[in-house]
Structure 1
Amino acid sequence: MRAARYYDRKDIRIEDIPEPEVRPGTVAIDVAWCGICGTDLHEYLEGPIFVPPAGHPHPISGESAPVVLGHEFSGTVTALGEGVTDLQVGESVVVEPYIIAEDVDTSPGQSYQLSKDMNFIGLGGGGGGLSEKIVVERRWVHPVGDIPLDEAALIEPLSVAHHAFVRSGAGAGQTALVGGAGPIGLLTAAILKAEGLTVYVSELSEARKEKARATGVADEVLDPREGDVAERVRELTGGEGADVAFECSSVPVVLDTLIDAVRPGAVIVNVSIWGHKPEVDMPRLVLKEIDLRGTIGYAGDHPATIELVRSGKIDLAPFITGRIGLDELITGGFEQLIENNEEHVKIIVDPRA
């Protein structure tokens, strides 16, 4: 089968590799679509980061570069390993792409995303969604019912957004400010709207501002070039400030704006992955008693996220801005997202095309 394998920075190759074998307790899946994630771009430009470098195998997967890429994917069940009785061949599914030690408790309510040596399928080994087929442990497979498989490929990043919402402790009727309308910012805004919050989005890019408006995920879209975002948020909230904010840009000035724009005692959740250490306005953070929280991945978020989409509360179709085949991965995918990132939210890949 064909697969995209990561060797090193700016070295991804489309190759023929053996098909994975079904083992007891696993599920074989024909991949339908796989999204290109910002993490994949970081690996391409700056890595290896999550990818174990050649000669340094990951302690759980036992793999090192080259590894198959792709962790945002959907597909169809083609075979069930011994002991798997609660899925059916032909069922549409997505994968929660974790590499986690066998003895880690992944039952509901457990923070398994914080376990030692955690990594992701499609980065740390275990196959990946940028291949025609994959075999994964049953515990990571989630049925999606009648959700179209192209849209289902966005369940993984949407689950990241859902986990950030859960981490915030926010609820219906509150006001949220999202800093940055890139892919994760827009999906975070979508979760917040679906959960009944009033959502303001701060963004510079005209294309991304338009996407926030067109998808209906923002009640107000604010441009820092057109005025003081924090002051405008206070105007919109009767002088109080936002109840909660989400940093989705990894830009220091955006974090500063969020700290200014939230009310005293508010929560700010950092969703973005930073490639550098930013300065933080600690005096203002302290004087306003702001709670700054980190978030990584997801833990038990996939079922609730899938239900938000199945129920019609979130429409994922508008967030897909490109569809390509595996041979176009670099020129039509990675390079597009690097050079024309303002024009795209999510490019998805058909590994069989």
Structure 2
Amino acid sequence: MKAARYYARGDIRIEDIPEPTVAPGTVGVDVAWCGICGTDLHEYGEGPIFIPPAGHPQPISGESAPVTLGHEMSGVVYALGEGVTDLAVGDHVVVEPYIIHDGVDTGPDSRDYHLSPDMNFIGLGGRGGGLGEKIAVKRRWVHKIADSIPLDQAALIEPLSVGYHAAERAGAKAGQTALVAGAGPIGLLTSAILKALGVTVIISEPSPLRRQKAIDSGVAQHVLDPRSDDVVATVRRLTGGHGADIGFECTSVQPALDTLVDALRPLGVLVIVAIWSHPASFDVQKIVLKELDVRGTIAYVNSHPPTIRLVEEGKVDLAPFITGRIGLDHLIDSGFETLIHHNETAVKILVSPSGRGL
């Protein structure tokens, strides 16, 4: 089967590799679509980061580069390993792409398995990936979805779950007002979750194309341009002088972080969603005097089931966020290069590893 294999920074190759073995306790998934994530772009341009370099095996998977890429995937079950009785061949599924030590509590009440030692992701740390035609995944990480969800849209459930967990970390509730800094893929999807939860969403985004996507997708009640709008003053006006209840930093840009601190009301909550590759700074006195909570968030933890329900119930429409569909052979020229050099024009580019979805 064909797969995109990461060898080193700037070196991704489309190769023929053996199909995976569907071992006991695993599920064979015929991948329909896989999204290109910002993490994949960082690995390509700056890595290896999550990917274990050649000769340095990942502690759990035992694998090192080359590895198959792709962790935002949807597909159809084609085989069931021994002992898997609660799924059927033909089921539509998405993958929660974790690599976690056996023995870690990953049950429905766990709130921290995503923070366990040596955690990594399928499609980065080994165990196959969604940028291959097929994958075998432990049953725990496979989530059935309704056939009514188109499989291309289902590939966005993984990044949508990032937004769901961020909203959980904020304690977001209906009736609150949130300021979201950044209308890239995660900012938009976090906004979609917030709106589905009944939160009033204000987005601040300097790119006119991304602002238009925020407007067209309907994920925010207010969309501001920080280059011309006084974001802090506007947020206060929209909230009766109080400020935003919660803020989401989705840019890894210092001015956006500063704006959020200023725009939050006293006792507000600031959630850092973006992955920062460089140090940031706070005016700590402002945080002290307003008694702000500053919280980090990474990935998701038992977030896929409630996220899937929101999509199945029609509370989140994922169609507007798909801006391209390509085959595996065009992964670099039409996928990575577009997202690196023309990222304002694209939100989520999906890849059909087999080409059957095109």
Normalization by structure 1: what TM-score? 0.99
Matched residue SS, 1:87: coil
- Which one of 217, 231, 239 corresponds to residue 241 of structure 2? 239
Give the corresponding residue for 2:86. Answer: 86
Give the corresponding residue for 2:259. Answer: 257
AA aligned to 1:292 is V
2:38 corresponds to 1:38: yes
For 2:102 and 2:137, locate their aligned partners in 1 and report how far apart those are by CA, in whole Å. 13
Give the corresponding residue for 1:22. Answer: 22
Matched residue SS, 1:224: coil
Give the corresponding residue for 2:192. Answer: 190
Shift of 1:288: 1.1
Give the corresponding residue for 1:289. Answer: 291
Shift of 1:215: 0.8
For 2:223 and 2:109, locate their aligned partners in 1 and report how far apart those are by CA, in whole Å. 35
Give the corresponding residue for 1:122. Answer: 123
Return structure 1 stretches of 4+ with deviation > 6 angstroms: none
For 2:159 and 2:90, locate their aligned partners in 1 and report how far apart those are by CA, in whole Å. 24
2:197 corresponds to 1:201: no
Q: Could you report, residue by residue, the CA deviation over 1:106-141 in whole angstroms, capped at 9, with x for unpaired residues?
A: 011211001000000000001000000000000000
Give the corresponding residue for 1:341. Answer: 343
AA aligned to 1:80 is L
**Where in structure 1 are there 5+ consecutive unaligned residues?**
none
Give the corresponding residue for 2:174. Answer: 172
For 2:6 and 2:282, locate their aligned partners in 1 and report how far apart those are by CA, in whole Å. 34
Give the corresponding residue for 2:320. Answer: 318
Give the corresponding residue for 2:145. Answer: 144
Give the corresponding residue for 2:68. Answer: 68
AA aligned to 1:21 is T
Matched residue SS, 2:307: helix
Matched residue SS, 2:179: strand
Give the corresponding residue for 1:219. Answer: 221
- Indicate the larger mover: 325-334 or 283-292: 283-292
For 1:280 and 1:150, locate their aligned partners in 2 and report how far apart those are by CA, in whole Å. 40
Matched residue SS, 2:305: helix
2:64 corresponds to 1:54: no
Shift of 1:199: 0.3
Shift of 1:318: 0.6
Q: Could you report, residue by residue, the CA deviation over 1:34-61 in whole angstroms, capped at 9, with x for unpaired residues?
A: 0000000110111000000111000000
AA aligned to 1:109 is D
Matched residue SS, 1:29: strand
AA aligned to 1:35 is G
Matched residue SS, 2:140: helix
- Indicate the larger mover: 279-288 or 86-95: 279-288
Q: Could you report, residue by residue, the CA deviation over 1:217-239 in whole angstroms, capped at 9, with x for unpaired residues?
A: 01000111112111110011011
For 1:282 and 1:212, locate their aligned partners in 2 and report how far apart those are by CA, in whole Å. 31
Matched residue SS, 1:18: coil
Shift of 1:182: 0.2
AA aligned to 2:155 is A
> How many percent of aligned residue pairs carry the same amino acid?
69
For 1:273 and 1:148, locate their aligned partners in 2 and report how far apart those are by CA, in whole Å. 29
AA aligned to 2:216 is A
RMSD: 0.6
For 2:80 and 2:69, locate their aligned partners in 1 and report how far apart those are by CA, in whole Å. 23
AA aligned to 1:302 is H
Q: Could you report, residue by residue, the CA deviation over 1:156-188 in whole angstroms, capped at 9, with x for unpaired residues?
A: 000000000011112000000000000000000
Give the corresponding residue for 2:302. Answer: 300
Give the corresponding residue for 2:163. Answer: 161
Give the corresponding residue for 2:77. Answer: 77
- Indicate the larger mover: 332-341 or 282-291: 282-291
2:269 corresponds to 1:267: yes
Shift of 1:281: 1.8
2:109 corresponds to 1:109: yes
AA aligned to 2:74 is S
Shift of 1:278: 1.1
